């Protein structure tokens, strides 16, 4: 079984103290004990193989035994996720993070039922970012995917023009498994809302319309399924 993963901002020293929420989780939830192996990551690609030295009420002291910087996988995978209803957005972020997404872009598509405005939008964005952080730890990743601010359709279209842009659409005739993928650069995958993409949005976005298969997935699970296909075909997996 692989060692548990905890986030620490600074991994430059020989000893690291986990405190605050991360320390409390390590000490009281995971109940780490002296001598146990732990992987510390900084969320930016550095992984430090460590051993627990001591455990306090809400902090854990660890000794770093080895340190490595993991190279970023290529091509870079970006998920543009239309805002789903309820907590399905967090599910979409969690699953995408577990399968290796590098960046998540929340998108205010025309037919989104959920709207991010004012304080509510700030709270939802914070939830998506917290979900990415926790899912990265659970899946033993050294890098936490970036979750950007809410994007408009025009901003998403601009992002697709600078990358290999793929738009999931149930009426597309090109299967995702047949698309030629780059070895480097960025692949941007767009997943629409529950109500689907409008014709105007499809025209504005550009890119290549693709389908996964005969079944229609929920917006919260389609991204992870498509990212899995891309990871396998691009050699990331």
| CATH (domain of 54) | 2.40.240.20
Beta bridge partners, 190, equal 80, 167
| Residue after which a domain boundary falls, among 69, 94, 118 | 69
Q: Domain total for the chain?
A: 2
Is 90 exceeded by the pLDDT of residue 86?
no
Alpha carbon of 215 to those of 92, 127, 227: distances in Å? 18, 29, 16
Verify that 105 and 143 share a domain, yes or no.
Answer: yes
Are 212 and 96 in a shared domain?
Answer: yes
Name the domain boundary from 54, 69, 84: 69
Angstrom distance (rounded) from CA 114 to CA 228: 26
Q: Which of 69, 98, 123 is the last residue of a domain?
A: 69
Examine the pLDDT at 216 and tell me if it is beyond 90.
no
39-85 per-position pLDDT tens digit: 999 999 999 999 999 999 889 999 999 999 999 999 999 999 999 98
Does residue 162 register a pLDDT over 90?
no
Q: pLDDT, tens digit, for every residue of 94-113?
A: 999 999 999 999 999 988 88
Query: By residue range, what is the domain housing residue 106?
Result: 76-234
Q: What pTM value is reported for the model?
A: 0.93
94 and 179 belong to one structural domain: yes
Residue 86 and residue 159 in one domain: yes
Query: Do 46 and 106 share a domain, yes or no?
Result: no
Q: Percentage of the chain surpassing pLDDT 90?
A: 85
In 56-102, DSSP assigns E strands to 60-69, 76-82
């Amino acid at each position: 079984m692989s060692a548990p993963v905890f986030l620490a901002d600074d991994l430059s020293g020989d000893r690291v103290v986990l405190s605050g929420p991360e320390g409390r989780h390590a000490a009281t939830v995971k109940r780490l004990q002296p001598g146990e192996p732990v992987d510390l990551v900084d969320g930016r690609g550095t992984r430090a193989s460590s051993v627990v030295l001591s455990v306090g009420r809400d902090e854990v002291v660890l000794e770093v035994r080895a340190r490595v910087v993991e190279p970023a996988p290529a091509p870079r995978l970006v998920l543009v996720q239309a805002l789903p209803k309820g907590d399905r957005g967090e599910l979409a972020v969690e699953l995408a993070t577990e399968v290796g997404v590098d960046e998540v872009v929340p998108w205010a598509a025309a037919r989104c039922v959920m709207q991010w405005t004012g304080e509510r939008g700030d709270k939802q964005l914070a939830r998506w970012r917290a979900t990415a952080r926790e899912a990265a730890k659970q899946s033993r990743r050294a890098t936490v995917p970036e979750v950007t601010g809410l994007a408009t359709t025009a901003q998403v279209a601009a992002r697709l023009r600078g990358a290999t842009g793929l738009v999931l659409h149930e009426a597309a005739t090109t299967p995702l498994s047949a698309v030629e993928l780059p070895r480097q650069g960025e692949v941007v995958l767009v997943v629409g809302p529950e109500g689907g993409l409008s014709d105007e949005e499809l025209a504005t976005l550009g890119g290549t319309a693709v389908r996964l298969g005969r079944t229609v997935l929920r917006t919260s699970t389609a991204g992870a399924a498509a990212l899995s296909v891309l990871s396998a075909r691009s050699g990331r997996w």
